[in-house]
Structure 1
Amino acid sequence: MANTPPIEDILQTTAPTVIIRDPQLQKRAQHARAQLRSIPFFDELGVNTVIHADVYDNDFKLIDYTHHSSQDISAAADSVEFPLVHITTQQGLQEYGEENLVHELLERSVEEQERYILVTDTTSPRLPTYMPKPGRSVVDDYDVAVKDYETLSNRYLEDYVDSALPASTTRNLHYHRASEYHKHHDAPADSLESIYDYTRAPTGSPVWESLYYFIEHDLENVLNDYSERIRDALRSWTERGETQKIANQMLDALRRCDFEKAQLEDYQQTNPNLR
């Protein structure tokens, strides 16, 4: 992976407060997918503290990042440190109590000139309590930059990533970095299912990280008894495709290792031709 350019170059703005529309975000009552897909992108750009609703992650992190629950942090918004990514929707603002949180973080970001990235489902999020005039939104009252996640990720994938996955399959950078690694090590790289085939995954592939997460967080019972929860957790990171197949491949690898970290390390270090 080449040196990552400054975040200002990637976002094409020096404004500390940025609103990024991600069309993948949907109302919570619907069967939304990939609400967390932008997290690896911002993590690579140096921002890995994230606020989002607990409902999105199902006790699973595809990558390591600092998570603040939007429900828990609302009463202590002055304690969270910038730089910060906040993932929510207009529905989250108005129906799930995040309006005050967003308002306070916007005020702090503008006053302190610190990086606050609000990822949401609209380019003009509204805070009705603070902006009662119909049609008025955050972009009317604050000096913010407005960007589109699909445009940003497309450009980044073209310029800085050598992935065998098409952007139309996923705009989750973690998957593309895994594909890139596999491609450079002559391993399957052109589909998510092939990337998560642990019998053929290179020793240094990013796909092993998820298995260690399960072991280190003692999720054996979850995996054995509630594999659909893992499938659903993967849906929060994956736009399309059958996440159950990937979940099954994770389960197979963990069961081969009896959910033991030492055995997983040995399995990971084994030549793929001998697994």
Structure 2
Amino acid sequence: MFRILKFIHINPLYLFILFIYGSTRLIEYIMDTKGTWTGIWSYSSSLLDRNVLLSYIFALPFFVIILHWILAGIFAIRDVIFKRKASSFIRASRRAPIQSHIIDLNLAKTVFINQLIVLPSSMLASYYFLKITNDVESVIDFKTVPSFSLMLYKFVLCMMVHEISFFYIHYMLHHPLIYPQNNKQRKDFTTIENFHQHPLEYFLLNIIPSALAIFLTHSDAVTTTIFLGAIVIAPIFEHSGFHIPTSANQNEFKHENVNGMMDYLHGTCKNFLQSENLKNHKILLSMKSQ
């Protein structure tokens, strides 16, 4: 049972995001104040003049891109300045190479194509699709802040839809006729790698599951922003090669065998559960070396 619970990994980053949101609500209750998040969101929305098209096509992708480069940049600076050493106080992956990572121009080019062309184009196409179906306001509500319970409910639903759709698309992309052309691009132990995919793979594997999660749950803008933040943050740490605050071992093994929560239901995780990777699949919640 312990092995199963250890495999079904709940990323603490998701819990951290929910903790920040929930603790704010608790402080409001104790201090008998209201509208903290509403005020912050209203101010942010006013900067965009509550333009749904502008917010949806540019603001959300901008948030994703900036969040990615800030966090990935921290690891990149760490790699360049201090280099990756096995004796680091943060336990590095045993499979990660012990040298600093130099990002080549081809990698950066692919990342920028995905972030500056594929992502905004997909957002634009989805916006007009929602406009045709008269579903823009119900799916992306930029005017209200949901209650914590409603946000938590929709966030969990988004994660479930994303996990299920991601698994089946990922499994499809591992077909021998497709895999060599795109999926093997994303192999290095660098945080920028979570955007280093063939544009078609990026569209199918990143945008489609996220869009399905948002559309099917009729997610509001706040929940959508938190959800997108969570699915951007998690791969950054998983591709870092380190075990802080999440473990990279499950992701590393995934690149050799399709691996995820849905694999447990389909029985395709047996190799991972029987491997040394499971023993090394640890999450560090402190600076103490292990």
Which protein has greater RCO, CA pairs closer than 8 Å, 6+ apart? 2
| TM-score, normalising length: structure 2 | 0.25
Q: Which has the higher helix share?
A: 2
Taking structure 1 as the reference length, the TM-score comes to 0.26
Structure having the higher strand fraction is: 1
